[in-house]
Amino acid sequence: MTADRLPPTGAPATVAETAQPVLGAGTATTPTELASAAAGQPLVETDPEQPPLQAAVAVAALAAVRDELERNSMRRNASPAAAPAASPESKNVLLIGVDGTNLSKVLSDPANANFFTLIQESTTAPSSIVGHTTISNPSWTSILTGFWGERTGVINNIFTPWTYDNYPTVFNQLEGAHGNGIQTTAIANWDVIAAIAAAGANRADTVHYIGPESSWAASDDLVGSVTGATIAAADRDVANFVFSYFVGVDEAGHAYGGGSQEYTDALLNFDRNLGLIMQQVRDWEAVNGETWTVILVTDHGHQPQRGLGHGFQSPDETGTFVVVRGEGFGGSGPGNGLINLQYEIVDVTPTVVTLFGGTVRPGSDGTSMTELTNNVRPIDNDDALRAALQDIIGMNGYPDIATDVTLGIRTIFASVPYFLVDIVDGIVGGLKAVAGQNIFLVSFLAGAAVGPVEFIGDLGYVVTNFAAQIVARITGVTGASIFPLWPPAAPDFAPYDPDQLITMVAVCGDPSAAAATQCPASIAV
């Protein structure tokens, strides 16, 4: 971790303080002894390679690592293990992003069997982004660059392509370092994510944009199918990085609330897709004799009630998670799940880069998780693992009042230009649809209105974005800027083409067949 790592805007006020040694005859003097005295049955066992924590209270005490000063200290003092070079164990990485997912909801429903199976064979961090905004684009940009939104200047869900010239994405970094030696692929059903993968220098080799389909569940299913096909077609002779993004859970949260049955159903649908993807991973590993490192992450949580969904600082919104399966991260099969309280979502890109033998960008807010090795292992990898994770999640709190208010104000101002652009785009889309229907006079008038509506919308964006950027700067976003003044173009991807996808999977994924076929360098579906 670098010296200029920025802490979040504020530290949580309701998280317990880290246990300190207690002096005096006959009293426990370490966190472990305090925990042992407080609980008769151990929850975590001593492992030759893990810290000797002995009880549920010890695990709960570790949650206080989220006090940012303590957490940063642990990251600074983490074992300086050298980043593993690219090897048969780390040359294939699958990053799965599931938007707006509350880990507590996953754990409370045993039907999410595939999700929990992955947790059982991985290292899991029930992390929190308290003190940072809980808007999607800033969080995903943090995940895909290794820098918090306060640095990148991303404050809302408007795609800003220039951001990734200054803060290269994981795709940019991998392609720049390895070129033809790596195949990078992004599959996403939110156009902003697809646009990020296609932004900057040395963009992703292949970008698949999946549209809304007949429902968000169907769209997620298509993301899962394309991801599975991409894994199956992966060339073992080159390194492979695949990013698969699912928006269905977040959409259900916005439409019905994070406490709704629809949200639960969306989680189950993702769980089914996760199971299919992991089966493809295991099948590929068995055939090719290589392994995949799998990272599962979310950007924020969701409010239980129907409404804005997220954007503020409640524990339901700031709760995140990082799950890592692979060499050095558990991964030896069910029953070996570990818990780590140091991982953050901003650590994802530094981790991926180092797994492929690269180095973390100077000044990065993230740290490679290969260096954050303070893990604990629950004795019972089912009930105790669930309980320990839920207990840690339950200790998440609000930030201090000043930070809570400050970030709330930032969210409100940042959301106005985004909602304005969204509304204007909807109106313009409707006008263009009418203009294309060749209705006498009406179509002409609709077509003529497109330009003025767009101009008025752009002026509205300039005014509201100016205010939003000023507020962002005042509230701690050092990357905030009023320039460029005019709104950026919306992401634009070609519609889904099944034949093109079939060609990519069946032919371009086969080196011998691809030699006789003109395979596209980048496919947008």
Per-residue pLDDT reduced to its tens digit, 394-423: 999 999 999 999 999 999 999 999 999 999
- Classify residue 206: in a domain, yes or no: yes
Q: What integer is the mean pLDDT of 170-177? A: 98
- Please check whether residue 193 is in contact with residue 186, taking contact to mean a CB–CB distance below 8 angstroms: yes
Tell me which of 5 and 436 has the higher pLDDT. 436
- Percent of all residues in the chain with a pLDDT value above 90, rounded to a whole number: 72
| The pLDDT of residue 85 is above 80 | no
Average pLDDT over all residues of the chain: 83
The model carries a pTM of: 0.84
Q: What integer is the mean pLDDT of 148-166? A: 98
pLDDT in tens, 341-380: 999 999 999 999 999 999 999 999 999 999 999 999 887 7
- Please check whether residue 313 is in contact with residue 399, taking contact to mean a CB–CB distance below 8 angstroms: yes
How many CB atoms are closer than 10 A to CB 161? 14
What is the count of structural domains for the chain? 1
Q: What is d(CA 409, CA 381) in angstroms, rounded to the nearest whole number?
A: 42
DSSP state, 505?
A: I
Q: What integer is the mean pLDDT of 475-488? A: 96
DSSP state, 177?
A: H
Banded pLDDT at 69 (limits 50, 70, 90)? very low
- Classify residue 416: in a domain, yes or no: no
Tell me which of 36 and 347 has the higher pLDDT. 347
The SS3 call for residue 216 is: helix
Banded pLDDT at 496 (limits 50, 70, 90)? low
pLDDT in tens, 96-110: 999 999 999 999 999
Task: Let me know if 304 is exposed, middle or buried by CB neighbors in 10 A (0-12, 13-18, 19+).
Answer: middle
- Classify residue 506: in a domain, yes or no: no
- Classify residue 123: in a domain, yes or no: yes
- Classify residue 218: in a domain, yes or no: yes
The domain containing residue 166 runs over which residues? Answer: 82-394
Q: Indicate which CATH number applies to the domain containing 141.
A: 3.40.720.10
* Residues forming beta bridges with residue 297, ordered by sequence position: 97, 322
| Token pair 């919306």: residue | 490
- Classify residue 120: in a domain, yes or no: yes
Banded pLDDT at 59 (limits 50, 70, 90)? very low
- Classify residue 57: in a domain, yes or no: no
**Cβ contacts of residue 56 below 8 Å, gap of 6+?**
35, 39, 41, 43, 387, 388, 391
Q: What integer is the mean pLDDT of 435-450? A: 97
- Length of the chain equals 525
Q: What integer is the mean pLDDT of 309-334? A: 89
How many CB atoms are closer than 10 A to CB 28? 16
E strand map for 41-178: 44-45, 92-98, 123-125
- Classify residue 355: in a domain, yes or no: yes
- Please check whether residue 488 is in contact with residue 498, taking contact to mean a CB–CB distance below 8 angstroms: no
Q: What is d(CA 184, CA 180) in angstroms, rounded to the nearest whole number?
A: 10
* Residues forming beta bridges with residue 243, ordered by sequence position: 95, 186
Q: What is d(CA 109, CA 249) in angstroms, rounded to the nearest whole number?
A: 15
Banded pLDDT at 79 (limits 50, 70, 90)? very low
